[in-house]
Amino acid sequence: MSVFTPVSEAQLAVWLANYSVGDLTALEPIAAGIENTNYFVTTTQGRYVLTLFERLPASELPFYLNLMAHLARHGIPSPAPIADLSDGYLAQLNGRPAALVTRLDGRSVERPGPAECAELGALLARMHLAGRSYAGYLENPRGSKWWRVAARAVRPFLDAERQALLDEELRFQALYRFPDLPRGPIHADLFRDNALFEDGRISGVIDFYFAGVDCWLLDCAVCANDWCLIDAETDRRLEQAKTLALLRGYHAVRSLTALERGAWPVLLRAAALRFWLSRLYDYHLPRAGVLVHAHDPEHLRDILALRAGGAPAPWID
Amino acid sequence: MSVFTPVSEAQLAVWLANYSVGDLTALEPIAAGIENTNYFVTTTQGRYVLTLFERLPASELPFYLNLMAHLARHGIPSPAPIADLSDGYLAQLNGRPAALVTRLDGRSVERPGPAECAELGALLARMHLAGRSYAGYLENPRGSKWWRVAARAVRPFLDAERQALLDEELRFQALYRFPDLPRGPIHADLFRDNALFEDGRISGVIDFYFAGVDCWLLDCAVCANDWCLIDAETDRRLEQAKTLALLRGYHAVRSLTALERGAWPVLLRAAALRFWLSRLYDYHLPRAGVLVHAHDPEHLRDILALRAGGAPAPWID
């Protein structure tokens, strides 16, 4: 995260007086990310992440924070928002909506193998089942409606080949809506850097600020396109062993259905499209103040082209 | 805890299928305690404590569990109850109401010094402030009404000197009710073995099953009578340095008032009376199946006699 809204130790110490987390001992900006301002916060009581929300609609924030609280209450290792003395998760800090959440231990894994993919699958399924009793509702903010808006914005920057890929994929996806697939809150952005591992187990799932209600299987598709590649740099086809480990880990906790089998190749393409579009958007229409480099959109274009290319997607049988 | 209701690994594995905590990997009975059946539970996702409630009234359990959840949400290191797939904290297991809560790291400190007492005081004050927004209500189940019931039950077992001490203390306490003291949910049983420390900080406050709404300062009095003695075996007067550290640690987070100063000596006696009575009860009227030895009631009798003996109680000025 780039820091869009600086926070001083003195400002934070005053702000924390409205919480029950003890006294501030350290404050450290987090450089990764492009959506919000994030700091690591350490107090006499624990370790936290402070987020100042820079451009998420204020109306969506309770969905994210309450979802994280709900999942944490169920034992899912998601960050737990800390309530302030007014019992709220959201407060104002330096003119921004801000929240304090627990900081989870562990490190992300750059080159996951089948074992990590199996862990991820099981965690996804547990998260989906735990989310069934969540009362909040927010349609996936990066769903098909958003695709069309984003596509219009980035299309002028594309060459003819890429325009054709985009147009064809939007046309293809419009043929499918999957109203019968099991749905609920999904993370929708569970790339490798949003999962923390410790001793081979997932110790944290972070960054729920793209979560929304959509097909559960879309979460698996987003993960497969990032976790299960043969090689992220040189061969972005799905590797059989990792993809099957992901799906089998999931299936052992929540049984995948015949309907989901049918939807799998389409959702792999949908997941690729969604991230190609956002990468294109961040690349061609960057916002002011972003210090980190936008991800190269070509990585996702390649994944989309491969998924749309007709090779059969691995599935459990 | 004695194990009153055995739970097998096979039974627990089935029961845990209704939770989002992964698969059972270890189950270990906890020997300490005399109220409930407790097990350490380890799963692929984390470490938990399973409690089967043996004699707490079912109507009181939501107060305790929701209070722990409330405090954990506020950053207080209390065990966090884990919600099941029906979104409830309480379920039935082997015919008992049962709950799964997070297991906290750390160890209790047998011989706390002023530094640990200061930590404890600050934690108590943060817990009290966080509890202000808790909606649940349960009058302290070991308050003055209970004293009278317990005193009637144990009085026949006492010699004349102890009967006189008991009668006099009940008469004395009846002169005070302190309706103006600040009140709220209190732990009410925060002896040394119910606080866990790690690196000099309190990493856990456990066993909320005597919590209730009462004067906040009563929590300080319960703690002082256990944490701040000159020597727990040989001299049970309050040590000045530890008692002042406790009170100053508390005062730095929530200012103690003149009213509370006046009530302090009375509440120190009330806290001693309450635990003398419960120790007498457990000693003379033990329940079947308790494997651990009841604490010697004489320890608390001595504390009560010393607090009632007129030596001035340390207070901050």
Interchain proximity A130–B20, CB inside 8 Å: yes
Q: Are strands B47-53 and B91-93 parallel, antiparallel or unpaired?
A: unpaired
Q: What is the DSSP string of A91-122?
A: EEETTEEEEEEEPPP-B--SS--HHHHHHHHH
Higher-pLDDT residue of B157, B294: B157
Confidence band (pLDDT; 50, 70, 90) for B292? low
Interchain proximity B129–A83, CB inside 8 Å: no
For an interface test with A, the pick among B45, B84, B202, B203 (most A C-beta atoms closer than 10 Å) comes out as B45
pLDDT at B302 over 80: yes
Confidence band (pLDDT; 50, 70, 90) for B2? low
Q: What is the mean pLDDT of residues B96-118?
A: 97
Q: Decide if B127 touches A, using CB distance below 8 A.
A: yes
Q: What is the mean pLDDT of residues B72-100?
A: 97
- What is the C-alpha separation between A58 and A61, in angstroms, rounded? 5
What pLDDT does A291 receive?
A: 59
In B106-219 the beta strands, taken as DSSP E runs, fall at 183-186, 195-198, 201-205, 212-215
Q: What is the mean pLDDT of residues B205-209?
A: 96
Low-confidence ranges of chain A (pLDDT < 50): 1
* Dihedral angle computed from the Cα positions of residues B28, B30, B36 and B37, in that order, rounded to the nearest 10 degrees: 30
Q: Which of 95-124 (A) contact B at CB < 8 A?
A: 100, 122
User: Are the beta carbons of A221 and A250 closer than 8 angstroms?
Assistant: no
User: Are the beta carbons of B208 and B68 closer than 8 angstroms?
Assistant: yes
Q: Which residue of A has its CA nearest to B80?
A: A73
- What is the C-alpha separation between A48 and A39, in angstroms, rounded? 8
Confidence band (pLDDT; 50, 70, 90) for B173? very high
What pLDDT does B1 receive?
A: 45
Closest by CA position to A232, among listed A298, A166, A277: A298
What pLDDT does A56 receive?
A: 86
Q: Decide if B153 touches A, using CB distance below 8 A.
A: no
What percent of chain B has a predicted confidence (pLDDT) above 90?
Answer: 90
pLDDT at B207 over 80: yes
- What is the C-alpha separation between A240 and A244, in angstroms, rounded? 6
- When CB atoms are compared, the residue of B71, B87, B126 closest to A22 is B126
* CA distance readout (Å), B169 to A272, B147, B164: 75, 10, 8
* Dihedral angle computed from the Cα positions of residues A278, A281, A286 and A290, in that order, rounded to the nearest 10 degrees: 0
Q: Count of CB contacts below 8 A, A vs B? A: 90
**DSSP run (H or E) holding A43:** strand A37-43
Tokens 């994280």 label which residue?
A68
For an interface test with B, the pick among A49, A67, A73 (most B C-beta atoms closer than 10 Å) comes out as A73
Interchain proximity A75–B129, CB inside 8 Å: no
- When CB atoms are compared, the residue of B20, B87, B122 closest to A126 is B20
Distance from CA of A28 to the nearest CA of B (A): 20
In chain B the beta strands, taken as DSSP E runs, fall at 24-29, 36-43, 47-53, 91-93, 96-102, 183-186, 195-198, 201-205, 212-215, 229-231, 235-238
Q: Which residue of B has its CA nearest to A122?
A: B22
pLDDT in tens, A194-252: 999 999 999 999 999 999 999 999 999 999 999 999 999 999 999 999 999 999 999 99
Distance from CA of B83 to the nearest CA of A (A): 5
User: Are the beta carbons of B65 and B89 closer than 8 angstroms?
Assistant: yes
pLDDT in tens, A133-149: 999 999 999 999 999 99
Sorted by where each starts, the structural domains of chain A and their CATH numbers stand as 9-102 (3.30.200.20), 114-308 (3.90.1200.10)
What pLDDT does A1 receive?
A: 45
Please say whether the dihedral angle defined by the alpha carbons of residues B15, B20, B21 and B22, taken in this order, is positive or negative.
positive
- When CB atoms are compared, the residue of A20, A74, A201 closest to B129 is A20
Residue A138 tokens, joined: 């927010």
Q: Which residue of B has its CA nearest to A65?
A: B73
- When CB atoms are compared, the residue of B46, B82, B130 closest to A20 is B130
